[in-house]
């Protein structure tokens, strides 16, 4: 009878084997007090996160130090205020933070000309520039793929005037949308207001360039010495040049040919417009560009569009060949640039 009990004792586990037990399941359950302590600790962390946010926001709106200002917007650009334990129902957006940053930056450089306004409807912020399209309202549209990138747009049309990247430190102006908003529809705008608005945009580029080392493409707003404006045509824009000759003659400005085949027009005693192949001497593929020269380096391509009606009409008529190129971030698959 004893042989019936010689087999070893078998232990039965709730899983298929003793090795199937999940380590997490072996942890003892938290006591009620431990759960309460854990909740309280997480809530404190959430509250401290909110307090930290107010400190950074306070720096954004009050600091007089340019480096502190930049660090505050960099922090707010990626700051997560809400979490699972605490949600703030009323908040300003990243787009709002970027508007505040622009105003503060210009203010600290004594160049603030745009008005920061708040919508009565949803408290969203926007920039107002009286005199532009009756009363221009501008805001930032944040890039959905990267919240440190944004486009500065006209609220009514959605046209983007410039692109800024707070991470890579670049700012690019958008020639096409600037022309469409301010030049093609300039009947709505006084020429002096357009020049004031141009100075406002240039001030933004100059401030981020000088204060933070941004790479800035001023594009058609560039009035600096040796500024060059590449056009979209890869070959000589013969039809456009013929039209410039005719339209210029009617306005009393003669288009002449230079020694190297460049097209030269004296718009005044001190302002000279030149179209030429920049790669002609180097033997590379053609790269047609436009330059504007004046005695004081204060006149940009945009200024010509504002000052000379015949030149504006010529440019708008021949955009297909002489439009000023813009940065890739503005390209679209259906507009022939991509």
User: Of 90, 123, 153, at which residue does a domain stop?
Assistant: 90
61-73 residue pLDDT tens: 999 999 999 999 9
Which one is predicted more confidently, 159 or 335? 159
pLDDT score of 335 more than 50: yes
What is the span of the domain harbouring residue 290? 222-338
Provide the pLDDT for residue 315.
Answer: 98
Gap between the Cα atoms of 139 and 79, Å rounded: 20
25-29, 147-151, 240-244 — which is least confidently predicted? Answer: 25-29
Same domain membership, residue 305 and residue 188 = no
135 with 242, same domain: the answer is: no
In the chain, how many domains are there?
Answer: 3
Task: For the chain, give the mean pLDDT.
Answer: 89
Q: Does residue 121 carry a pLDDT above 70?
A: yes
* Percent helix, percent strand, percent coil in the chain, to nearest 5: 40, 20, 40
Tell me: do 115 and 209 sit in the same domain: yes
Indicate whether 30 belongs to any domain: no
Give the pairing type, strands 215-217 and 170-173: parallel
Taking the model in full, what pTM does it have? 0.86
Statement to judge: residues 165 and 253 lie in one domain = no
pLDDT tens per residue, range 48-92: 999 999 999 999 999 999 999 999 999 999 999 999 999 999 999
Helices (H), the chain: 23-26, 32-62, 66-77, 94-108, 175-178, 191-212, 238-250, 301-307, 309-317, 319-322
């Amino acid at each position: 009878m004893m042989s019936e009990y010689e087999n070893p004792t078998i232990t039965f586990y709730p899983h298929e084997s003793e090795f199937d037990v999940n380590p997490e399941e072996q942890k003892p359950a938290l006591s009620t007090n431990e759960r309460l302590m854990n909740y309280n600790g997480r809530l404190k962390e959430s509250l401290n996160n909110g307090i930290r946010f107010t400190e950074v926001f306070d720096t954004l709106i009050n600091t007089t130090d340019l480096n502190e200002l930049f660090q505050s917007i960099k922090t707010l650009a990626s700051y997560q205020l809400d979490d699972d334990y605490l949600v703030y129902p009323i908040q300003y957006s990243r787009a709002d933070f970027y508007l505040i940053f622009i105003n503060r930056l210009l203010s600290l450089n004594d160049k603030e000309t745009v008005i920061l306004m708040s919508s009565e409807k949803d408290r969203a912020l926007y920039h107002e520039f009286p005199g532009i399209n009756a009363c221009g309202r501008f805001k930032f549209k944040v890039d959905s793929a990267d919240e440190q990138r944004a486009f500065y747009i006209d609220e009514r049309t959605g046209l983007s005037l410039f692109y800024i990247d707070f991470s890579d430190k670049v700012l690019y102006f958008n020639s096409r949308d600037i022309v469409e908003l301010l030049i093609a529809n300039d009947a709505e705008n006084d020429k002096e207001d357009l020049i004031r608005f141009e100075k406002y945009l240039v001030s933004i580029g100059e401030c981020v360039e000088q204060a933070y080392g941004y790479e800035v493409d001023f594009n058609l707003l560039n009035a600096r010495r040796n500024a060059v404006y590449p056009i979209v045509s890869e070959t000589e824009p013969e039809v456009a040049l013929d039209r410039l000759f005719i339209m210029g003659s009617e306005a009393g400005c003669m288009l002449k040919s230079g020694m190297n085949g460049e097209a030269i027009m004296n718009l005044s005693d001190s302002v000279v417009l030149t179209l030429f192949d920049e790669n002609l001497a180097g033997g590379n593929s053609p790269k047609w560009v436009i330059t504007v020269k004046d005695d004081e380096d204060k006149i940009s391509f945009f200024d010509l569009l504002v000052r000379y009606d015949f030149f504006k009409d010529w440019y708008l008529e021949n955009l297909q060949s002489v439009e000023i190129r813009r940065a890739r971030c503005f390209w679209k698959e259906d507009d022939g640039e991509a």
